[in-house]
Chains A and B, each alone.
Chain A
Amino acid sequence: MSEALLELDRLDVAYAGVPAVRGLSLSVGRGEIVGVIGPNGAGKSTTLHAIMGIVRPVGGDIRLAGRSIRGRPPERVARAGVALVPEGRRIYPNLTVDENLRLGLAARRDRGGKDVLDSLRELFPVLGRYHGQPAGVLSGGEQQQLAIARALAAEPDVVLLDEPSLGLAPIVVDAVFERLAQIRGRGVTALLVEQRAQRTVALADRTYALANGEVRATFTPADASDTDRLVAAYFG
């Protein structure tokens, strides 16, 4: 594993005293894609929300490049170099596609970004095609591309992807995973939360299966075809 960029150290998160994540430790190296899979309620999205500062951990630490970011408000986490592609995409339907994309620049640590936006429009041609249209007119898959591009606009150190294939047609899911593979080729570091276990394990350098807020198993791409083990990790 390369140098650890994002580290979770015995992270505990609870909602109204009910544990959602228990003692979770994992690390993401620079340039790696690390997957997190598991059934609903396993604590996957909560983990991302805790990293992003949307929920406050009750224990443990979150470090980015060795420095603790635990408890920082979301905008400071974003400006420190973490970008979130939220579940349900959360694009702004009333703003234009370009405005949505420009919002991604808010977390940049410099004032530039025009070149990045141009390169993102090349990577996601649909964004150039509909640049002046309200983002609400885009299809689900196109909105997902916009949400991913928006996160990449800040050129973050780490991208957190929260179920990017959720609610998309199978053919669109193929396209999304294709984009993720392309992003990986650009050296982006990512923590990918997904319910599509097999595809995630095949794509990620390493995948953790969560259940009840704890790591139940770890997979490598070689395990992608080991359906029995994947099913066991899910249904234990």
Chain B
Amino acid sequence: MLQTLFDALALGSVYALMAVGIGLVFGVLRLVNFAYGQLIMAGAYALAIGSSHHWPVWVSILTCFGVVIALSLLMEIALFRPLRGASAATMLVATFAVAFLLQSIALLKFGSLVKTASILPGLFNPIGHGDFQTVRKITVVAIVCAAVALLALTLLLNKTTLGLHMRAAAANFQTARALGVRANEVITLAVVLSGVLAAVVSVILVIETPFVEPHFALRDTIIVLVGAVVGGLDRLWTATLGGFLIGVATSVFTDQLSSTHSPYVDSFVFGLVILVLLVRPEGIFAPFRARTVERA
């Protein structure tokens, strides 16, 4: 029971981080970045390379952050910026293309076989004895990392001028620009923050599952996207909660389903999503949002 609770909280936390990363970019660009999973995959390969070359852990982790942030910035400069003003469908298809491109590059460069990334293996050990024997340290670390990252992001968004500008841009971009908010500055910050969160997720996922291959984090990204949409992508906190809840649901199904049913975890999760959408087609948190949402 304790293990199920911790596992659910941990996966929910990681998915919440991914949902925030996706939601931040959606907020300022109205763009669902389908290549988000490939950013995480790129970070995971950086960790695998560091591990295979026996780099110090901090160097591997720094490299992971560097690679993911650089790729995020490259996406913004080479893709998002030239496509500013393009239709949502065009931008969506463009991120699909980037996702497949990055995946293909990984396939060409590293092959389809898994690469093992042994990063901080000590975190795989249980946190204690008795009831806690089944709870691994990385589970607690994932929860703490997610909590710290979300707290830092909350402080940035709520306590700084830049955060205020980002919130304004996310709510009504055109009005924010007319008020003098620098569009490119805000978008770049959102893309970088989203990249930082992707790097954090890379590190956590690699420690949890140290087998990196070109589809690394792809399934997680699809599940998180669904969760964020069900929660409500138009607001950061609803997207985050959506991501968290779908993570919890996925983990609970994984832990509780018998071994014969466990291969169908995704079917159960998406079945639950369909049920939720049938009952609340406007999204889980619509009653809380309906009064206040404003769109340009």
- A131 — which chain B residues lie within 8 A by C-beta? none
Chain A, 69-111, CB within 8 A of any chain B CB: 73-75, 78-79, 83-84, 86, 90, 92-95, 99, 102-108
Structural contact, B179 and A78, CB atoms closer than 8 A: yes
A134 to B178 alpha-carbon distance, docked (Å):
21
Tell me the nearest residue of chain A to B164, going by C-beta. A99
A105 to B180, CA, bound (A): 8
The answer on a CB contact under 8 Å between B294 and A103 is: no
Partner of A94, one of B171, B178, B179, B183: B171
Q: How far is the CA of A102 from the CA of B292 in the complex (A)?
A: 20
Decide: B177 and A103 in contact? CB cutoff 8 A. no
Q: Does A52 contact B (CB under 8 A)?
A: yes
B172 and A75 contact, CB distance less than 8 A: no
A149 near B: Cβ within 8 Å?
Answer: no
Q: Could you tell me the dominant secondary structure of chain B's interface residues?
A: helix
Contact with A along B265-296 (1 / 0, CB 8 A): 00000000000000000000000000110100
Q: How far is the CA of A90 from the CA of B164 in the complex (A)?
A: 16
Is the CB–CB distance between A90 and B292 below 8 Å?
Answer: no
Instruction: Report which residue of A83, A90, A154 has the largest number of chain B beta carbons within 10 angstroms of its beta carbon.
Output: A90
Contacts of B172 in A (CB 8 A): 90, 92
* A54 to B172 CA separation, bound complex (whole angstroms): 14
**B residues within 8 A CB of A102?**
161, 164
Contact with A along B122-162 (1 / 0, CB 8 A): 00000000000000000000000000000000000000010
B168 on interface, CB distance cutoff 8 Å: yes
Whether A136 sits at the interface, judged by CB under 8 Å, is yes
> Across the interface, do A103 and B164 meet the contact criterion of CB distance under 8 Å?
yes
Chain A interface: which size bin?
20 to 34
Is B171 within 8 A of A103, CB to CB?
A: no
Contact B292 A103 (CB under 8 A): no
Say whether A136 contacts B292, CB under 8 Å.
Answer: yes
Kindly identify which residue among B165, B182, B294 contacts A93, using a CB–CB cutoff of 8 Å.
B294
Complex CA distance for A186 and B174, rounded to whole angstroms: 29
Tell me, yes or no, whether A150 is within 8 Å of chain B by CB: yes
Contact A94 B164 (CB under 8 A): no
B-side contacts of A93, CB under 8 Å = 292, 294
Cα-based distance from A106 to B292 in the complex (angstroms):
24
Q: Mark A1-15, 1 if CB is under 8 A from B, else 0.
A: 000000000000000
Kindly state the separation between the CA atoms of A108 and B181 in the bound complex, as whole angstroms: 10
Residues of B within 8 A of A84 (CB): 178
CB distance from A53 to the nearest CB of B (A): 8
| Given A92-B168, A93-B292, A136-B292: A106 and B183 interface contact (C-beta under 8 Å) | no
Contact B294 A106 (CB under 8 A): no
Docked Cα-Cα span, A109 to B4, in Å, equals 55
- Structural contact, B180 and A107, CB atoms closer than 8 A: yes
Query: Are B292 and A154 neighbours in the complex by a CB distance under 8 Å?
Result: no
A contact set with B: CB distance below 8 Å: 52, 54, 73-75, 78-79, 83-84, 86, 90, 92-95, 99, 102-108, 134, 136, 150, 154
Given contacts A86-B175, A95-B171, A154-B179, 19 further A-B contacts (CB under 8 A): A52-B178, A54-B178, A73-B177, A75-B182, A78-B180, A83-B179, A90-B175, A92-B171, A94-B171, A94-B292, A95-B164, A99-B164, A99-B167, A103-B165, A103-B179, A106-B180, A107-B179, A136-B291, A136-B292
What are 29 contact pairs spanning A and B, CB under 8 A? A52-B178, A73-B177, A73-B183, A74-B174, A75-B182, A75-B183, A78-B177, A78-B178, A84-B178, A90-B172, A92-B168, A92-B294, A93-B292, A93-B294, A94-B171, A95-B167, A99-B167, A103-B164, A103-B165, A103-B176, A103-B181, A106-B179, A106-B181, A107-B179, A107-B180, A134-B292, A136-B292, A150-B179, A154-B180
